[in-house]
């Protein structure tokens, strides 16, 4: 079974600074998807960024980018120019390839942004 | 993006009663829906996977007789918590996928059993 590990229960960053959230996973599959989801206090899950395992290029979405190291099974999220609205729980998630596969979530990292 | 609507957002019920939570995909047909449970300050725990027209697949340790899941159409899945007890109080979230990598989430339902 696949597992996702987030080793940082909490992180903090100063506004406008950069922070990196760590995620490692374990799988025997070669094709899969990796995600970072944000859960603000409203508890609505919001997709931040997605990476397909077959793609060597790291995904980017505006201020958010990932460092995907397939051999090391590592998938970290970098948030640049942090904003107060970035404060939330961040969950790393894994999904097998296929449109009806479940997501396996890590335990989450609580990000605090200090003004 | 696709919209998943979950209702109600919060519900309070008396111990021993049943409560139904609805999850609707508003602008797409969801072949598969997922039900998660989230305790305070914890991650999402998958309870079951629901496919339209077939029985739900429950994760190990989830009581299928207590958490009844019905996926009667491609746009609606329901979770019924039967004979609810205070320990069933939690945040329940549904999610839907339509043959795409991305999963779309409902707003969640906060259930409090008193």
pLDDT at B51: 85
For an interface test with A, give the residue of B103, B104, B107, B110 to mutate (most A CBs within 10 A). Answer: B103
Flag if B99 and A33 touch (Cβ within 8 Å): no
- Whole-number pLDDT of residue A101: 83
Low-confidence stretches of chain A (pLDDT beneath 50): none
Give the tens place of pLDDT for each residue, B44-66: 999 999 888 888 999 999 999 99
Task: Give yes or no for a contact between B64 and B58, defined as CB atoms under 8 angstroms apart.
Answer: yes
Q: What is the pLDDT of residues B15-41, one digit of tens each?
A: 999 999 999 999 888 888 999 999 988
Locate tokens 């609505």: which residue?
A44
- The pLDDT assigned to A99 comes to 64
Identify the DSSP state of B107: -
Neighbours of B40 (CB within 10 A): 6
Query: Are the C-beta atoms of A112 and A12 separated by less than 8 Å?
Result: yes
pLDDT of residue B1: 67
Contact B102 A47 (CB under 8 A): yes
Cβ atoms A92, A6 nearer than 8 A: yes
Contact B44 A47 (CB under 8 A): no
pLDDT of amino acid A60: 97
Which among A95, A100, A110 has CB closest to B31? A100
Give residue B2's pLDDT band: very low, low, confident or very high (50, 70, 90): confident
Residue B35, class by beta-carbon neighbours within 10 Å (0-12 exposed, 13-18 middle, 19+ buried)?
A: buried
Tokens of A12: 């903090």
Q: What does the pLDDT look like over B62-75, one tens digit per residue?
A: 999 999 999 888 89
Predicted pLDDT at B28: 85
Other C-beta atoms closer than 10 Å to the C-beta of B63 total 11
**Using 50, 70 and 90 to split pLDDT, how confident is the model at B87?**
very high
Residues of B in contact with A35 (CB under 8 A): 101-103
Q: Do B98 and A33 touch (CB under 8 A)?
A: no
Predicted local confidence at residue A35, as pLDDT = 96
Q: What is the pLDDT of residues A93-111, one digit of tens each?
A: 999 987 678 899 999 999 9
Eight-class DSSP state of A85: G
Task: Say if the Cβ atoms of A95 and B101 lie within 8 Å.
Answer: yes
- Residues in A closer than 8 angstroms to B32, CB to CB, are 99-100
């Amino acid at each position: 079974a696949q597992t996702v590990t987030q080793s940082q229960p909490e992180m903090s960053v100063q506004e406008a600074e950069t922070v990196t959230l760590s995620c490692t996973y374990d799988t025997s599959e070669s094709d899969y998807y990796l995600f970072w989801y944000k859960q603000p206090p409203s508890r609505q899950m919001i997709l931040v960024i997605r990476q397909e395992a077959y793609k060597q290029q790291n995904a980017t979405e505006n201020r958010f980018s990932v460092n995907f190291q397939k051999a090391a099974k590592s998938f970290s999220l970098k948030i640049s120019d942090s904003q107060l609205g970035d404060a939330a729980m961040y969950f790393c998630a894994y999904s097998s390839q296929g449109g009806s596969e479940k997501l396996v979530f890590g335990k989450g990292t609580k990000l605090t942004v200090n003004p | 993006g696709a919209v998943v609507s979950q209702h109600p957002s919060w519900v309070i019920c008396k111990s021993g009663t049943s409560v139904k939570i609805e999850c609707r995909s508003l602008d797409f047909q969801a072949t598969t829906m997922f039900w998660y449970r989230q305790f305070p300050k914890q991650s999402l725990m998958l309870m079951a996977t629901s496919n339209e027209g077939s029985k739900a697949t429950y994760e190990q340790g989830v009581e299928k007789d207590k958490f009844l899941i019905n996926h009667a159409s491609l746009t609606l899945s329901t979770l019924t918590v039967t004979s609810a007890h205070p320990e069933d109080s939690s945040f329940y979230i549904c999610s839907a996928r339509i043959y795409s990598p991305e999963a779309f989430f409902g707003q969640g339902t906060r259930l409090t059993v008193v």
